[in-house]
Amino acid sequence: MANEFKVFVYMTTIIGSGYALMKYTVPDEEAIKKRLDPALRKEYEALKVLNRERGQQFMDLMREAAETDKPAWEIADEHLKRFNSTNPK
């Protein structure tokens, strides 16, 4: 019983130390953004908005696929055709 207790204490100490070291050394997202160059910060925000829009489009596509009996690849092809017709290169 004493050995199990020692193992538990050592394991908790090692894991707790690792977590504390990580929290102390790794900066949070806000600190990283504050240190960025203004041009890079602007680019980061633009990419963040673009990724959010893409994610929303993907979720819309998945909702549409869930509501119909068509296979997902047919719905994706229809979306791609609509996208290409509205955004010619």
**pTM here?**
0.54
Give the model confidence (pLDDT) of 51-60 as tens digits: 999 999 889 8
Residues 55 and 73 in one domain: yes
Residues 51 and 12 in one domain: no
Q: What is the pLDDT of residue 82?
A: 81
Please compute the mean of the pLDDT values over residues 70-86 and round it to a whole number.
81
Residues 76 and 52 in one domain: yes
Cβ-based neighbours of 37, under 8 Å, separated by 6 or more: none
More confidently predicted of 51 and 85: 51
**Are the beta carbons of 68 and 75 closer than 8 angstroms?**
yes
Give the chain's domain count. 2
Residues 42 and 11 in one domain: no
Give the model confidence (pLDDT) of 8-41 as tens digits: 999 999 999 999 999 999 999 888 888 889 999 9
